Chain A
Amino acid sequence: MGEAKKAVEELLPQLNASKGAMKIMEGWPKAMLLELEGEEKAFYIVIDQGKMSITETLAREPDLVMHGDAKEIAQFFRGDKDITHPLAHGHLRLSRGKSLELVVFLSRILGAVHRKKMEAH
């Protein structure tokens, strides 16, 4: 399994148990395709009914398509680096979908999960 997919999978239990994150995800039912360098396979992140899941196949077109560096995306999902860094440095690009919409959504759900980590810090 690739680094980015592993990081997302590790995050899923916390994300899908967080009331704050679930509320945000309810308002953003979308599917993202991640085609990342350094990752074994492309994979999808699907947000449906307030929950996030990962799949390798999808019966419909994704709403967003992300390309970039698997290591940097993994850092983001682990809460080590903000999503604006790979975007600003060209290590994360979107060939479909709006980047600002993605940044706001991911920052909000990650913020809901990592807030305690930040406070403890």
Chain B
Amino acid sequence: MRRVAVVGVGQLPYRSRYADKTYLALAYEATAKALLDAQLETKDVDAVTYGIYCPVYLRQEQPDIFLQDYLGMQGKPSLRVSAGAATGGAALYAAYNQVASGQADIVLLLAVQKASDPFDFYTNSRWDGYRKTSMSGEMNWQKGVIAAGPVPISTVACLLPHMEKYGGPTEEQVAKVSVKNHQNALTNPNAQLKINLTVQDVLNSRIISWPTTMYECCLYSDGAAALILASEEKAKALADTPIWITGAATSYYSLHRLEPHMLGRMLGVAEASRRAYDQAGIKEPLRELDVVELQDLTSGLEIIAYEELGLCKLGEGGRLVDEGIVYKGGQLPVNPRGGCVACGHVAGVCEVSSMGDVVLQLQERAGGIQVPIRNGRGLVETICGVVSMSSATIFARED
């Protein structure tokens, strides 16, 4: 396998809606930014990997075909990856393997998603467009019932059993994570929601699925993000500080059977991260990593992710919050961009944009969200909202 590096990053700010731009326009802007960052042109790209979660939300089935044309990539090898809210992680895995295997030297990884454009052309209904995503649930026996929404499912199947089995996290610790991420977003120019909250504000906000409250739930955004991946030879020629992908792994679980050993756990995160750590030679992630970006689809899931990523033992995630370890000035800052609850979230884009943030962090050009870089290693974890598809990617700088 060849070594693979990221040599270009393109991110658009998260917005609740880009009413004036199609998904094509958003994708074009993110691609142009990434190519500019890598000092490349369209003709230099060997292949494209699209991370696009939900065509229904874009009002366009098979969007990759039209993107290929719109971006000027006609004739080049391409593929589209979709894996729920882990789409970006799975797409990175596919793009990485194209370069690592020698099939391509330069790959554009592009994620685009609008969440505000669904429409059913037969019933002329916006809501009917949204309803189609209920088919993400198991459709033979459960008839999509369990696709009621990621917040109730992740709360009932993961957070509450975790609290009961392991004695934590507490409601206050979960609220502290939300406050931390909202504070982090205040200095992020790409963040969608910039408000200063207290723990009491979070606890007193609307209960979405007890004990998860409104400010502990991710936003839903429109956006686009792109990365340029390059082989070692190309990366060294293109970038002063290429950021190497030293570990890339995915793990899939189906939660629909709700087996007892899966309740309260994010087993996919545990397995994906162990594989990625093995590839990257990481033994003590808390000590060896400088920054972690993970998908806080709810703030409770962020704390459980600390444990599943091996930053602490099961049930001790809340301690990392209480002791300030995961804060911006702490030993291992988690979600300095502001997380999904404040910076923004839409499946596919959120993960690729987070990867871009970690690359920028390691290159020490992350601006207002920059954290101290000591070891030159960062991690991005992605997980689907129903605690099913997961990925872990390790990025490293070599001085």
Contacts and interface: CB of A to CB of B under 8 A. Distances in A.
Contacts of B210: 88
Q: Which of B196, B205, B206, B213 has the most CB of A within 10 A?
A: B206
Contacts of A88: 207, 210
B195 A85 contact: no
B41 to A, nearest CB: 44
A82 B205 contact: yes
Interface in B88-115: none
Interface residues of B, number: 11
A31 to B, nearest CB: 25
Interface string B196-229: 1100010011110010011000000000000000
A84 B196 contact: no
A84 B207 CA distance: 6
Contacts of A121: 195-197, 201
A120 to B, nearest CB: 10
A107 interface: yes
Interface string A105-121: 00100000000001001
Contacts of B214: 82
A89 to B, nearest CB: 8
Given A121-B195, A121-B196, A82 B206 contact: yes
A47 to B, nearest CB: 22
Contacts of B213: 82
A82 B195 contact: no
B195 A107 contact: no
B89 to A, nearest CB: 33
Nearest to B213: A82
Interface of A: 80-82, 84-85, 88, 107, 118, 121
Given A82-B206, A88-B210, A121-B195, 5 more contacts: A82-B213, A82-B214, A85-B207, A107-B206, A121-B201
